[in-house]
Amino acid sequence: MSSADPLKRPPASGPPGPPTCLASAKIKDSHLRRQAIVYIRQSTPQQVLHNRESTDLQYGLEQRATLLGWPSCQVEVVDEDLGRSGKSAEGRPGFQYLLAQIALGHVGIVLGLEMSRLARSNKDWHHLLELCAIFDTLLADADGVYDPKDHNDRLLLGLNSSFTYSTGHYTSVSELVAALPSRPRP
């Protein structure tokens, strides 16, 4: 069982409408006192031009941060890497800024559409995970909120990243599991 904290909406108390808050037991006051950074990236200028839906979804994570408890004045969007490959931290000023802000202890959570897309290089990915663990920075994507200090979360993030790098097809562990054929029980 995954230790990734699923994002849950509170029970509805009236007519349906937009959620007012997403809950995660992993988010503590110490995280909320720091900044939330929404990291936005697409690999090529062509993707930026032709995949507007993905870009819009990524910008939508700013609202998700507020639903997780961050005041909008503490949510920063880092989009300097739009149109830049994630193969290396070199030439990615947004990613370098993200790492610096984490290392300064200014970041409580980093939000991305898919965590494995933050860095395509294992070296950069593990550097990000290590900094997040040292400086108590959470990571969040569509599948949940992760604490890189937690062994199970780190394992899940590592598996997700490894599957993405090795298969080039599946973008999350949950997507891979869903694609596996079910085994009949003996």
Q: Which residues have CB under 8 Å from 141's CB, separation 6+?
A: 111, 112, 113, 114, 115, 172
Distance CA 140, CA 101 (A): 17
Q: Are 102 and 68 in contact (CB under 8 A)?
A: no
Per the structure block, which two tokens stand in for 178? 């869903």
Half-sphere exposure of 122 (CA within 13 A, CB side): 7
Burial call 45-60: b when 16+ CB within 10 Å, e when fewer:
eeebeeeeeebeebee
Distance CA 41, CA 94 (A): 9
The reply to whether 161 belongs to the active site is no
Which residue out of 2, 3, 43, 54 is catalytically annotated? 43
Give the residue numbers marked as catalytic: 43
